[in-house]
Amino acid sequence: MRAFLDEVKSWWGTAPTPRTPIWLLAGLVVLAFLFRLPDLASRPLWYDEAFSVLFSKTGLQGMIKGTLTPGASGSADIHPLLYYLLLWIWTGLFGSSVLVVRLLSVFISLMVLIVLVVMMNRMISIRAATISGLLFALSPFQIQYAQEARMYGLLSLWLLMSAYFIWQGCNCNARWPWVAFGTTAALAMYTHVLAAVFLMPLAFSLFWFRRPDLWRRLFTGIGVAVVLYLPWGIQLPGQLNKVAAAYWIERPSLASLIQTMLVFITGLPLDGAFLVLGLFLSITVVVFLAMLMLRILRNRVQPARELAWFAFLAITPVAILFVISQLQPVYIVRGLLPSGVMFILLSGGALANSAGLPGMRVALAAALISGSMLGQFVHVQYEGFPYAPFEAVGKFLEDELIEGDVILHSNKISMIPQAYYSPNLPQTYIADPPGSGSDTLARPTQEVLGLLAEPNALSAVRDARRVFFLIFKQEFLNQQVGPASNPTLLWLQTYYDQIGKMEWGDLQLYLFVFDSYQLTLTGVGAVELR
């Protein structure tokens, strides 16, 4: 037993490691929590978040069926189930209100903060840990995804822990860090398949820390990850086929890399003068951070190797994802949230290092803080697409609806959130064009959700006397067409009388009444949606 305890202690290193003050952790956690509170409950759930809640409510069996059942183009869904499983347990304990479902992401983000601070204190110094913790607490990118009911914060947690265990394994003689690395790597893959673009460069850390002699232990960790991930890994080809056959992401360009830089520092979206200011601040951060790193590396001050490693882990996953996406577009900036954490560690460590000139550190700190303030201001103010006041829309429809009315959504983007807020309304939606980039909600997933799409407007409205039609203005912008070019809206305007139109932000509501004379002339059986 004593030998086992000694082995566990050696997990954290052979030499005594500095303890992180509880008061520091508590202060940073409180600060981060306060910056994650604004709009946590008041901002409506959008499509991805509402899907997370509704899908998790189907339970483990429903989620497996809705994900792995073969569809026309591979598996029904592309995401592993770990986050959905945690959300299912969480909502089972605390309910499924907007505040509750987002608090899980806040809690995960605070866990990332704790791991980050402890990691930086042990790797570099308490000063570096404090600065990195402050940057993480104030980062617009990290705040945004700490306020969304999605899996990207959980992905950051597992990958940050994986990196820490790799570092521990390279700096002590213990075996446990490699087993822990394999475990957290598998958990990361169970969270999101894009974990692979981070784990690939992480595996080269042995050469970074000049420990190629540890390759057997690295392969032990990889073996643990493979064994743990195998039950899901055998399903991976079907999910990758789904991505290859139908996925909405476009091939990234140089603009995508600039966008990633902006997201890491100021967050998005930014428009007009804010975009110009954000770009200036981001370039300032990159320039002064590069200058600081050059001085640190040139002077070979401690911990130059660790800081260069953070830079490697921040940049390489972006590059790998960019190259892969030239063949199969999968470049989603939110999937690079773990790289954003590494960028924070790099910035915090560089600011804490005395090798750089004070003026450089002041300029870098000022640019980082200004970028944070800008990003948070824009984030709090933003109410556009894909957000909409679905709860208010639902209450309006409940008051206006009479027997026989139909609520028709142009697609799933407004239907899924409205189904969360107004589950008892008689509403349906039009299916995505089969095989198109937007065809991401497969039939098996629709079945477990109990929300089956209709192929066209005629099938959806049937003999309804009145139709309430909902569509985002962004849909016209994405298609670069006007309202008259939307096939569903055009059909309704042809065979029904439009008697009203309302707008809630970017969400438009049209009211149509049955034109009995026109349909009598045409004949219902002869009407065909094209």
Q: What is the 8-class DSSP label of residue 139?
A: -
pLDDT-derived band of residue 244, with 50, 70 and 90 as boundaries?
A: low
Query: Quick check: helix, strand or coil at residue 428?
Result: strand
Amino acid at 242: K
Residue 158: its H or E element: helix 152-170
Q: Which residue would you say has higher pLDDT here, 357 or 443?
A: 443
Residue 403's Cβ-side half-sphere holds a number of Cα atoms within 13 Å equal to 0
| Predicted confidence (pLDDT) at residue 357 exceeds the cutoff of 90 | no
φ/ψ of 209, rounded to 5, equals -95, 15
Contact criterion met (CB below 8 Å) for 529 and 487: yes
pLDDT-derived band of residue 15, with 50, 70 and 90 as boundaries?
A: very low
Cα distances (Å, whole numbers) of residue 361 to 103, 117, 295, 301, 368: 35, 20, 12, 16, 10
Highest mean pLDDT among 18-27, 170-179, 278-287, 348-357: 278-287
What is the tens place of the pLDDT at every residue in 413-470?
A: 999 999 999 999 999 999 988 776 677 888 889 999 999 999 999 999 988 899 999 9
* Domains present along the chain, CATH in parentheses: 2-381 (no CATH), 390-526 (3.40.50)
119-133, 342-356, 407-421, range with the lowest pLDDT: 342-356
Least Cα distance to 53 among 101, 105, 95 occurs for 101
pTM for the structure as a whole = 0.90
Contact criterion met (CB below 8 Å) for 207 and 252: no
What mean pLDDT, rounded, does the chain reach? 87
% of the chain surpassing 90 pLDDT: 66
Contact criterion met (CB below 8 Å) for 349 and 128: yes
φ/ψ of 302, rounded to 5, equals -75, 130
Residues 20, 15: Cα–Cα separation, whole Å? 16
% of the chain surpassing 70 pLDDT: 88
4-13, 172-181, 208-217, 219-228, range with the lowest pLDDT: 4-13
